[in-house]
Structures are given as structure tokens and as C-alpha cells.
Structure 1
């Protein structure tokens, strides 16, 4: 498949390539972006201009209109591509954070910004008043701690939690509601499925993977979810359900409980291979917490079988360039003795 790769290079090169791609008279060659690779080998996702534009226009409709954008995430990932596209559709290149001395200086005049939770957490410490000046702060790229969102909103920040992926041209569900034209299918115990004009064409060079992901017009995600009060609630990845000692344990629920501990700054919970348990649940903790304390804290709210059997204390969680937690690095850290 012939694909265009305009999302690599300097900011002016990226902006110029994307502008030419958007302005082409006929449907141009599709765009290729890579997934983050946070859980395995990155996949090369092929996106048509039709899909990217459908996503951008639907986002503007939901947000209340187009506007200037601040680019704080790499343009080599789909979130960055969409910031560039949305800004150009408004008629101006996005403001690039790296070109300014501070977040406050870069944010001047911008209506929208897209962040990952780690960025929001840090900016609330230094630039909460600036964040409150945006019409919307889109937050995606991973699970969002409700306490983080509440803290931001208490300081006047309008947070919009997005759910989506490279395969859906970026976020396609805002605050639990699909964008116009997007449909959700959330069968009990099965992966979330998504249909609509924002879907990708396939994976470059991998027809078998494409056939597993695109079924009867639906994109089969890797996430579990349920509809609560008419809104999608993402429970976590299918592979985040850790089978340990014959018990199915939803790792995101354990992580959410540990994040509520007063001595914990942040945490990630994963399953790693174990001869005795099949998989051993391990908590990677930034904070002052012992394994016994972690087990007791989790057991106070959930079954004791959900409590982690390993704990790794870190100064900071490792992250990929797009801000997502580097889960492969965490697994390597834990694959030694308990």
C-alpha cells in the first residue's frame, strides 16, 4: 500500500506536509501513523483524509467551534496529527510549546489544548490559571483519575475526557458520548466496538491483523467497557484482566484503589508471568507504600484475591514520548523474583 508519511520532521515540515495533504483536490494517498507501542510492537495505522477530516469536524462541532490550538504532544502520533489538522482547518498553524519559554507564554490566545494525564497533573501545579483560560482541555492517552479531573475543574479548567485510538483517527468519544456519526457497541464481557466515518483503512503490511480488527464494518478495540447512565465507561484493556490463581482481577480497578492511598502519588498495576500463580499482580508505585500496606488497602474495598502480590517502588513511572506509561519497561522491571 502506498502511504504518505508527513508526520515526521521539524514542525514547519510537518505543518507544510499536512496542509498540502488537506488541500489536495482529489483524495490523496492515505496518511500513516504509528501506535504508541505501549503494550507491544507499534502498529502502522493507515488513515484516509476522509476519516481524519470527519474526526476533526466532529470534534469542532462537539467543542463549540474551531479555534487556535496549542501543540504539546508529538505530531508523529495521532493526537498531535489531529491538533495540526484542527488548527489548519481554523486557518492558522498550531502554536508549538517548544518554541516558547513557558507554557503560559505558548498558551496566549489559544482556545484549545490536548494533554495526557501526566501533563495535566504537572501543569495544575504551575499553570492552573492559564489552563482555566482555554475553552477546553482535551485529556486522553490513558486512564484518567477522577480525582485529577475534579482537582482541575475545582480550579476552573474545562476538562473533556476523550477515548479513541489511532484506528479511530484519535478521540471519538468525548466524556462518554460518541461524536456525531460514531456508533458504539458494548457487549457484556466483550471488547468495545466502534463504527463510523472516522475509522482507519487498515494496518500497513498486515492484512491478517486488519481482518481481526475490522469486522463487518466495526473496529474491534482491545478495551472492555459498559454503558452507565447513557455514557461509555471504559473499564480497561482486555489484557488488563489478570488471571492470577484462577481469579480474574481487573488491574485498572486495583490501580484506581491504590491511587486513592494518601501515600501514593501515582501507580500502575500489571500482571507478569509467574510459575505458581500463572500471573502475578504487581503494583508499580511512586510513593511511600509497602507491599503489606498495599495489600491491606486494596483488600479493604475489593476481594483479598485482588491484592497485588508484588510491589516495585519507583521515583517516577517510565513514559513513552506521547506521554503514555511504558508498560513494556514496567514488565521487564517486574519479571524477576517477587
Structure 2
């Protein structure tokens, strides 16, 4: 039986323990949901058929729409605890900060780890914090607040980690490990920022997480063979597809010099006239422009051409060095092919999911509703 839970740390950890000890499946709800939507998710969980061996129910990020309930076994998380412990600093790590809400799979994973002897979880960074498990946004906030003296490791997932942010964290003495994964697949690949060496198995870039095999199939679709894959969904369908022991959620990638280069999800691609634009590629260029803290790229529906490439920029706090839009557009034009250059520009704080991922669907909604600050065409 799925047992919905409300609450925050530290009381939530004991609630999770009680539900698991009773042989039930905990589902931590998102506190930002409306009462109506919360009731619909609870109803879906109550009516769903639960496969044998289900131990955890978690939520997808909802970055492209409504979240789904993902069901998984205890082993599908437990088998990765040893590797994660090393990324968090090894056996000397006693506490880990989890800034994202417990409804996110990122945080719930670490709570499950804590129940199995992992680091003690805290919702915020404290002077006693040894490690951080969160999103790039959480890492940036930690650095801006002043790095606590005991903080030595950061495990960062949920969205792209900007190289400049990694460098800043490493300069502050943090060992940074970025990873790619999905609620349905758990950990897929990691990048510990190792410096290039003579060994072809070292150096920076994403490589397969311990225990995971990856292959690229038709359409650059990334498939994994992994002990960490979920059982499926509760009361819904989703992007998870299986082919024997292999699974995918539709993300696209390529392997370059032995490293995995992510190309985004196929259904995020923007079809504009005769061109296909991958948002993540344009976002990476925009983030490289001085003064741009973050960027999200999306398709703005238009008749005849299909969609216009549009972007919302989250700029650094204004200063004498903050570039004007004209300068940002000039630099973007120099680095992007014509079809990939944004045609509509917006500015604001990028909305995010509970786990900290940029919420592409919410950005499009706010633009269509006229709520976003338009910077021009």
C-alpha cells in the first residue's frame, strides 16, 4: 500500500522508517501542490496496482508537465549507496545537506540512504555540514552564503552544472561530482571533474555510473542496462520504455572520446521551419556569456514555421559589468548558427520544479499568458 506523507526533516525520516518497517510504500507529497491536485495524486496512488517488491514511490520532476509517481524496489537505490558515499566524501562524512524538498527523488534517495546507514540528512547547510546533495542552484546559493568550514563535497544533479560554477566550488575547496540521471533510471552517468591524464578512463566529462552500461541507438537515443531502473509508474504512463534488460526515457546523447554528451530529450526539440534545434545546446552557449546566470530555451508556437526559438534569461545582479541585451544578442549571434539564435527574448527568474530543475513547461505558460518580461525580438 502506498502511504502519502507530508512533513519535513527531521521528523520525516522517522515517518519513512515506520512506513517501510510496516511493509508499506511511502510517497512524500509536494507542499506546493494545490489541495485539488494533491487529492488527485493521492487518489491515483491509492488505486494503482503495486508490483511485488515495491519499496519506494517517488515523483518525476515535472519539468515538462505534471509529475508522475514512479515505483521502485529497495535494491534499485540501495545498490548505488556505496558509490554515492564515496562521492560524498567517503566514510568520514557524517551529515549531508538536502535543500530540495523531500518530494523530489533526489532528496528522497538520500533519505533512503540515511535509513540504511548513510549520512544524517539536514534540510539546510549548517556549520557542521560535511556534504551537499542538490542542484546547481543549491550549490550556487551555498557558495554565495559563504562556504561552511566542514563542507568538502557536493553531489550535483537535476540540471546542467555550469563549468564556471564548478570551478568556483572547487576553488572553495569542494570536491564536486555532477551526475545525469532520471527518476525512472536513477543514476546513469557522473563527472567528477578529474583532470586529463594518460589513462583513457580518466579526465573530465560524463561517464557511465558504476554498474551501468550505456549504448546509443537510432535517433541518438540513450539506453541503459542498469540495476537501478524503476519498476514503472503508479496510475499513469510515462516515457520509460524497456527492451529486455535495457531501458530508456527518451533522452538523446552521443559518445565523444569515451564521454557521454547529452543532447536533451527528443520531445524537447524545437522544430522551426526546416531546422531542428536542441534547447540544451543553445542554453550552453547563452550561459557562457558574461552576466548570464542561467538560460532556458523553448519553442514559441507560430503558424507556418512551427515554432520560434525563444529564451528566458536569468541575469546576474545588475552592476557596471552587466551587459545590455544588445551585447548579449551580439555575442549569441557570433556563437550560434542563424536557425539556433533566439528570436524572442525574455528576462526573469527561471521557474523551477521542487528538485530545482528549470520548468520548461511553466516558462512557456508564463510567456503565453503575458506574465514574462519581454526583452525584444
TM-score w.r.t. the length of structure 2 is 0.76
Greater CA deviation, 44-53 or 86-95?
Answer: 86-95
Deviations, residues 150-182 of structure 1 (Å, cap 9, x unaligned): 22222222110011111123x342212223221
Alignment of 1:14-25 (within 5 A): 14-20=12-18
Q: Does 1:296 align with 2:321?
A: no
Q: Is the 8 A contact 1:282 1:308 kept in 2?
A: yes
Deviations, residues 91-138 of structure 1 (Å, cap 9, x unaligned): 6642332xxxxx3xx240x3321121112122222223x2x7434201
Which residue number corresponds to residue 221 of structure 2? 191
Q: Does 1:37 align with 2:56?
A: no
Deviations, residues 225-272 of structure 1 (Å, cap 9, x unaligned): 122332222222223321111111222121111222224232211112
Q: Does 1:153 align with 2:170?
A: yes
Q: Does 1:307 align with 2:307?
A: no
- Structure 1 residue 5, shift from structure 2 partner: 4.4
Q: Does 1:78 align with 2:78?
A: no
- Measure, in 2, the Cα distance between the counterparts of 1:334 and 1:279: 14
Q: Is the 8 A contact 1:224 1:238 kept in 2?
A: yes
Which residue number corresponds to residue 10 of structure 1? 8
- Structure 1 residue 188, shift from structure 2 partner: 6.0
Q: Is the 8 A contact 1:162 1:172 kept in 2?
A: yes
Q: Is the 8 A contact 1:4 1:31 kept in 2?
A: no
Q: Is the 8 A contact 2:72 2:230 kept in 1?
A: yes
What are structure 2's unaligned runs of at least 5 residues? 25-51, 192-205, 316-321, 371-376
Q: Which has the higher helix share?
A: 1
Which residue number corresponds to residue 179 of structure 2? 162
* Residue of structure 1 aligned with 2:74, choices 49, 52, 57: 49
Q: Is the 8 A contact 1:140 1:162 kept in 2?
A: yes
Q: Does 1:116 align with 2:141?
A: no
- Structure 1 residue 336, shift from structure 2 partner: 6.6
Which residue number corresponds to residue 173 of structure 1? 189
SS at match of 1:90: coil
Aligned length in residues: 322
Moved over 4 A (4+): 20-29, 61-64, 288-295
SS at match of 2:90: coil
- Structure 1 residue 45, shift from structure 2 partner: 0.2
- Measure, in 2, the Cα distance between the counterparts of 1:137 and 1:92: 13
* Residue of structure 2 aligned with 1:319, choices 349, 352, 371: 352
What are structure 1's unaligned runs of at least 5 residues? 98-102
- Measure, in 1, the Cα distance between the counterparts of 2:264 and 2:294: 17
| Distance verdict in 2 for CA 1:310–1:291, change over 3 Å | farther
Q: Is the 8 A contact 1:56 1:82 kept in 2?
A: no
- Structure 1 residue 321, shift from structure 2 partner: 2.4
- Measure, in 1, the Cα distance between the counterparts of 2:130 and 2:119: 12
SS at match of 1:11: coil
| Distance verdict in 2 for CA 1:75–1:278, change over 3 Å | same
| Distance verdict in 2 for CA 1:181–1:263, change over 3 Å | closer
TM-score w.r.t. the length of structure 1 is 0.84
